[in-house]
Amino acid sequence: MRDNGRAAVRTVRVGARRLTYSLRFDDALRLVISVYPDLTVSVRAPHGADLRRVDARVIRRAPWIHRQLLEFERYHPLPVPRRYVSGETHYYLGRQYRQGIGRGEEGWNLTRGFLRVTIKGEKQAERVLEVW
């Protein structure tokens, strides 16, 4: 495998399942396995590590990796990033408000369950709400 600073995607078989992980070689002193909330698995290995040993270590740690993945799956789907468009909802003081965006003098107004944001130009709703 070439060590060009980029991660390689590898797959190992663990029983009847497959476990896919990204492998990166760097100046790590030892092999490090990380599981992330987006359900990805990453392995960092020292330069020159044998691929068979890396795969064997991942297979040996597969029960732990699987437990971590199951724990993170409990929190899915992850929150969708805000787009600051009409119809989106926002929480304020424990209550949920639907957002409406209009054109005009910059400002905001809470009325009957709606958070009305007025903006002058494109993509300013986020800034107006952050200031508020």
Calculate the alpha carbon distances from 113 to 16, 48, 57, 73, 130 in Å: 51, 60, 54, 33, 19
Give residue for tokens 């029983």: 15
Q: Measured between alpha carbons, how far is 68 from 23 in angstroms, rounded to an integer?
A: 18
pLDDT for position 2: 43
Residue numbers of the chain with a pLDDT score lower than 50: 1-3
pLDDT for position 27: 92
Summarised one tens digit per residue, pLDDT across range 90-103 is: 888 888 888 888 88
pLDDT for position 77: 83
pLDDT for position 105: 84
pLDDT for position 108: 83
pLDDT for position 1: 45
Domain map (residue ranges) of the chain: 8-73, 89-131
The number of beta carbons lying within 10 Å of the beta carbon of residue 88 is: 16
Ramachandran angles phi, psi of 59, nearest 5°: -65, -40
What pTM was estimated for this model as a whole? 0.60
Residue 48 makes CB contacts below 8 A (sequence gap 6+) with 25
